[in-house]
Amino acid sequence: MAADKDRPTLASVARAAAVSHQTVSNVINAPHLVREQTRRRVEAVIEQTGFRPLKAAQTLRTRRSNLIAVMIPEPGKWHGELHNSFLHALTRRAQKSGYRVLLFTATDDDEEINAYDQLLSDYTLDAFVLTGTHSGDRRTSWLRRKHIPFVTFGRPWGSKSGHPWADVDGAYGERAATEHLLAAGRRRIAFLGWPDGSDVGDDRRQGWAQACEGAGLPPQPSVAMEDDLAQGRAACARLLDEPDPPSAFVCVSDTIALGAWTEITSRGLIPGRDAAVIGFDDSSAAAAVGLTSVAQPLDEVADACLVALGKLLSPGSSGSSGKRSSPHDRVLLKPRLVVRASG
Amino acid sequence: MAADKDRPTLASVARAAAVSHQTVSNVINAPHLVREQTRRRVEAVIEQTGFRPLKAAQTLRTRRSNLIAVMIPEPGKWHGELHNSFLHALTRRAQKSGYRVLLFTATDDDEEINAYDQLLSDYTLDAFVLTGTHSGDRRTSWLRRKHIPFVTFGRPWGSKSGHPWADVDGAYGERAATEHLLAAGRRRIAFLGWPDGSDVGDDRRQGWAQACEGAGLPPQPSVAMEDDLAQGRAACARLLDEPDPPSAFVCVSDTIALGAWTEITSRGLIPGRDAAVIGFDDSSAAAAVGLTSVAQPLDEVADACLVALGKLLSPGSSGSSGKRSSPHDRVLLKPRLVVRASG
DNA sequence: TTGAAAGCGCTAACAT
DNA sequence: ATGTTAGCGCTTTCAA
């Protein structure tokens, strides 16, 4: 490719600094073993030549690549904008810790596991970051069985698998949203959610339910639907046409909230005045139309993931009997309610 | 890490197949050099053991990693959703061709160049894919100077740099949008754009201007602003309050279009009936509110990028005198107008 | 504290 | 058509 004929190597640096290559290696990997004076001399040469060890050679020798892999899901499966922010945060943090992020795609869990296998043997990956965990997740059990280091963005729903994870407290978020509405005097608060059995959706709905109950409200209406704007709109319409229509809608996602928002608007009503709507994810669409929404602290999630990985990969945790993750490696982060015109 | 003590190697496969390791290597890299019978025997062992060559070793030897790097921009700089889709498409295509995508971040061109340098020497990258090209782009000149293979998503604005690129014809998109409005009988069509000097923005505005002119319309109003919803809304308001208000708004982005859409809606007018609005990027927000928008064919862009890279990286194009890119490596793709309620 | 020897797994060049 | 030799650049032993 490029002209890297004259790339500096450990050997060339050693020659220039009049030491053995081993000493150069030590300056980089174990500076405390090298005498101050020698170290400075070597460092000067490194600086001057711009020497950087070749990962391929290091990897071949040490079986560590400083690479972590993340799957990039099909657009639309996860909210793309959200995933992009997460990826960015993760990449930034990884870079700071000397890691790089490798991307791959897969369309289902089995394909993803297959990808792990290939990535592992091809690129000597150090670890994985998984998103979208769910009950009965085959990926986490596979990785555990193989003793591969990994962290998940998402709790180990329905399993007490002890792997490190970071997640956002969806129940807390919806509770906060609901309490915000209660404080504004709303007394009829519907929930527009996903069908039962989606772990994330159930968790979020619970937050709403808890807040309603805590306020001493009678049972409030709850409707389940796919994550689709039209369905959100239809559900909202149906509820508004009932005898005792809700004056507020807490939604499991921005997509559904936008549906409710659209229906309200199209009736000539004003979101936030005539009926409140709150979404989840704080997408740019929410910002665009003035939709109040629950924002996930993706930077913090990425941080937590990397802290956990750091522990997993630091000396002492290798070998097939990797140590159990400490409580600090299960991080539940609080989302933030971003109040806009709609609620 | 994992238990890869017993990982199959070239040597172990060779032993099992009773051939030299070189023959195994040939079976993988140059099958035509191996006798049918031998090949099948070796392949059987490979299949059975699940052998896969270690990239680290291959890279060390060949100076090729099968890795291509892409920068992931700060969320908000590029529309995150868009970039996520592009990344996904790129990763998929790359995977199919035996490449993997490595991510990195940078906050400006110089930092990005710095990242190239590190990535190159650390990970022996094969190529880069750049997004967001602009006039006087330091990145492309740096890469060219160093003879590093790369493709850009975005034309080499303002330079006739002969590197391969793929881009979306923004002028075409806005022309199509405008003509669509003209066909619907609109005769007063404003353009809400970015300030002069943004290559992409200027290109898009031109498409609108051409269509207006082509229809024999007198000069139509054009307003420039930052890519911000509030500014889009304000501009729309101002125009609507003029003596001869536009009946349609062609916008340089969905963000601005959403602003116009909001203003129209808040006046009790119906987008698409009382005043048309068309955005650019076909974001989920556009879909959410029923905003007509110009969709970029990101899959095709990713395809084109990988085709071009394939040529660049295939045997014959290495060395410091890499061959000039063929016309096929400058691909201008037509976007598609997605018609919704707003226009 | 430093140096020398060996080898990670693979491919390129050559010999057969 | 297949085998042999050498070495990519680094780190890990071990010796000095």
For chain A, give the number of residues. Answer: 343
Q: What CA–CA distance (Å, rounded) separates B117 from A121? A: 27
Q: How far is the CA of B260 from the C1' of D4 (A)?
A: 74
Pairing of strands B336-338, B292-295: antiparallel
Q: What CA–CA distance (Å, rounded) separates B27 from B14? A: 11
Strand D contact with A11 (CB < 7 A):
yes
Q: Do A85 and B87 touch (CB under 8 A)?
A: no
Amino acid letter for position B13 = V
Q: What CA–CA distance (Å, rounded) separates A239 from A235? A: 6
Instruction: Say whether pLDDT at A199 is over 90.
Output: yes
DSSP 8-class letter at B92: H
Instruction: Say whether pLDDT at B318 is over 50.
Output: no
Please check whether residue A63 touches B, CB under 8 A.
Answer: yes
Give me the mean pLDDT over the B334-342 stretch. Answer: 98
Instruction: Say whether pLDDT at A31 is over 60.
Output: yes
Indicate the pLDDT class of residue A79, thresholds 50, 70 and 90: confident
Query: Largest Cα–Cα distance in chain A?
Result: 89
Given a contact cutoff of 8 angstroms between Cβ atoms, the answer to whether B260 and B286 are in contact is no
Say how many C-beta atoms besides its own lie within 10 A of residue B114's C-beta. Answer: 13
Distance from CA of B169 to the nearest CA of A (A): 23
Given a contact cutoff of 8 angstroms between Cβ atoms, the answer to whether B251 and B284 are in contact is no
- Tokens 């909202």 identify what position? A236
Q: How far is the CA of A221 from the C1' of C9 (A)?
A: 64
pLDDT of residue A2: 44
Burial of A58-75, coded b for 16+ CB within 10 Å and e otherwise, reads bbbeebbbbbbbbbbbeb
Task: Report residue A20: phi and psi, to 5°.
Answer: -85, 160
Q: What CA–CA distance (Å, rounded) separates A248 from A183? A: 12
Closest nucleotide C1' to the C-alpha of B11: C9
Strand D contact with A29 (CB < 7 A):
yes
Q: Do B123 and A73 touch (CB under 8 A)?
A: no
Two tokens, residue B13: 């496969």
Q: What CA–CA distance (Å, rounded) separates B176 from B59? A: 48
Q: Do A289 and B122 touch (CB under 8 A)?
A: no
Task: Report residue A98: phi and psi, to 5°.
Answer: 85, 15
- pLDDT tens digits, B158-179: 888 789 999 999 999 999 999 9
Q: Do A284 and B80 touch (CB under 8 A)?
A: yes
Mean pLDDT of all residues belonging to chain B: 93
Instruction: Say whether pLDDT at B58 is over 70.
Output: yes
